[in-house]
């Protein structure tokens, strides 16, 4: 599944921190902000953008912003050393 593939790439970027990696940059503390603050700020921004897209009722923008929000949520989970399968297990647990 594409989300699992992207998750593995995110984990690799956090570990290896290659240059020109968006994930590596976002998950590294800098002089001004800690990584966790940067990640959480991004999640806040993307949530707002998704809400605005939904209110404008623009399907393409809703999809685009939802992908951004899901991506940054995955970065947070990976940064917190949570495995993708643990997220899936939570959904399994809730399944009726
Ligand atoms: N799926 C994504 C993905 N979705 C969104 N983004 C980035 O998330 C950011 C979203 O921020 P904004 O919406 O605010 O857009 P922006 O105008 O670029 O704003 P700033 O971030 O510059 O402030 C953009 O810079 C996008 O490039 C992503 N960056 C990477 N990926 C995946 O993550 C993997 C690792 O990426 P790198 O770390 O760059 O190698 C890639 O292989 C991709 O599969």
What separation in Å is there between the alpha carbon of 57 and the centre of ligand 1?
24
Domain residue ranges of the chain, discontinuous segments joined by + = 2-89
Under 8 Å CB-to-CB from 3, ≥6 apart: which residues?
70, 74, 84
Please give the Cα distance from 70 to 84 (Å, whole number): 12
Please give the Cα distance from 49 to 39 (Å, whole number): 15
Per-residue pLDDT tens over the stretch 15-32: 999 999 999 999 999 999
The residue whose CA is least distant from atom 9 of ligand 1 is 68
For domain 2-89, the CATH architecture is Orthogonal Bundle (1.10)
Low pLDDT (below 70) residues in the chain: none
Burial 44-71 (b: 16+ CB within 10 A, else e): eebeebbeebeeeeeeeebeebeebbeb
Task: Tell me the percentage of the chain whose pLDDT exceeds 90.
Answer: 98
pTM exceeds cut of 0.90: yes
What separation in Å is there between the alpha carbon of 95 and the centre of ligand 1?
31
């Amino acid at each position: 599944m594409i989300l699992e593939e992207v998750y593995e790439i995110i984990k690799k970027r956090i570990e290896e921190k290659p240059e020109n990696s968006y994930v590596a940059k976002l998950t590294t503390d800098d002089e001004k902000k800690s990584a966790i603050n940067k990640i959480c700020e991004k999640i806040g921004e993307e949530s707002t953008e998704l809400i605005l897209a939904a209110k404008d009722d623009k399907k393409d923008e809703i999809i685009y912003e939802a992908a951004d929000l899901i991506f940054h949520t995955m970065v947070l989970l990976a940064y917190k050393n949570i495995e993708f399968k643990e997220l899936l297990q939570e959904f399994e647990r809730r399944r009726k």
